Chains A and B, each alone.
Chain A
Amino acid sequence: MSKSENTTSQDTLYQEAARAFGSEVARFVAGYERDDAKRQDLLQEVHLALWQSLAGFKGQCSLRTWVYRVAHNVGATHVQRSMRSVQRKSTNLEEAELHVDERAEIILTDSRLDLERVMTLIHSLEVLDRELMLLYLEDLDAASISAITGLSTRNVATKVHRIKPLLTSRLSNRSKSS
């Protein structure tokens, strides 16, 4: 394949990917960065990485898996970079289970409050657990999550099994308090 044909295919693939998975990518990015301005920069970084990476796409996996992997890998790198600069501490799933309702509540509309609480939980997690939770919220099955993360399906199933009550307890605590 000539270079120009390759570039055309890369451009076409990128446009297709951005159209089909743009919303998911934006949600993943929100899971990795809360600050609006920084989130826009990160989103741009993900799109740039996606476009560049698609030069090497030869159908090794589905386009969706490819897009999700790039989005999460760039997101995780961003988190690692920010943690190095501000020494922020992430928690793993076990610690998150212990600190389910420690954060102050803000009175917002019900659904927004639910989202805020979930987002707070997501942002407190380590990158791998965060990726799992984001993929779980996108309603992916264990096999798809396994293809994106590289974890075995059994490991994914175990972790997802622990995510479910964590989310439920977050939201039930809000219901009780309201």
Chain B
Amino acid sequence: MNDQELKSLWQSQTLMTGSYSLEQLQRDAAAFRRETVRDHTGGMISGAMVALIFGFYAWVLPVTLMRIGCGLVVLGSFFFMYQLQRRGSIRKRPPEALALPFITYFREDLARQRDALRSVLWYIGPTLLGLSVFVWGMAQPNPADFPWQVTSVFIIPVVVVVAMHFFAAHRLQRKIDQLDQLNESAEI
């Protein structure tokens, strides 16, 4: 079989082309929007729950440092919700972006994923600061009683998660560099 015969064979395949009415597409688009809103709302509810719980602690706890820590966690949660709102809307791409040439589309997509991974510190950093003050407050009045075991339960998973995010971002950057090299070599 030669090239042309293979192409003819490929093009003669009988596949279901699918028939989608405009009403169905509108319904699908609405369902997709609802799903996105649901995901977003989930993040907002989590942030609000943390703010409520630590707000309550800030109200009832006796140690000033712990109360300051709780207040910082509340502020951190609000900051998290603000970041979620801001970055979420930045990440939204217009539908026509799907019609970009593949290399451009793919590169932008990888860069968006990389930036989202790198922004993890912006999401959890302020909350983490509040937690640190809170835990420091637990060690008062005698700093020798600092609860290292409790702290490690917070700190180790956070360090692992942040490291994993940065490692994944680094891998995406390598892919982006490969795409750039592909284009540069084509231009030589």
A residues at B contact (CB < 8 Å): 11, 14-15, 18, 22-23, 25-27, 29-30, 40, 43-44, 47-49, 51-53, 55-57, 60-61, 66, 69-70, 72-74, 76-77, 111, 114-115, 118, 127-128, 131, 136-139, 147-152, 154-155, 164, 167-168, 171, 175
Assembly CA distance A49 to B156 (angstroms): 41
A154 x B95 contact (CB < 8 A): no
Q: Residues of A contacting B10 with CB < 8 Å?
A: 27, 115, 118, 137-138
Contact A69:B99 (CB < 8 A) given known A118-B10, A171-B6: yes
Q: Is B177 on the interface with A (CB-CB < 8 A)?
A: no
Q: How many A-B Cβ pairs are below 8 Å? A: 137
Q: Residues of B contacting A115 with CB < 8 Å?
A: 9-10, 13
Main secondary structure of the interface of A (DSSP, over half): helix
Assembly CA distance A130 to B186 (angstroms): 19
B residues at A contact (CB < 8 Å): 1, 3, 6-7, 9-11, 13, 15-18, 20, 22, 25, 28-29, 32, 94-106, 109, 182-183, 185-187
Assembly CA distance A60 to B9 (angstroms): 32
Contact A44:B98 (CB < 8 A) given known A25-B17, A171-B1: no
Taking a contact as CB atoms closer than 8 A, the residue among B15, B25, B104 that contacts A30 in the complex is B15
Q: Within the complex, what minimum Cβ distance (angstroms) separates A88 from chain B?
A: 16
Q: Residues of B contacting A69 with CB < 8 Å?
A: 98-102, 105
Q: Residues of A contacting B98 with CB < 8 Å?
A: 49, 52-53, 69-70, 73-74
A148 x B16 contact (CB < 8 A): no
B99 x A111 contact (CB < 8 A): no
Contact A44:B28 (CB < 8 A) given known A14-B22, A149-B102, A149-B103: yes
A40 x B18 contact (CB < 8 A): yes
Across the two chains, which residue of chain B brings its CB closest to A122?
B10
B22 x A44 contact (CB < 8 A): no
A139 x B7 contact (CB < 8 A): yes
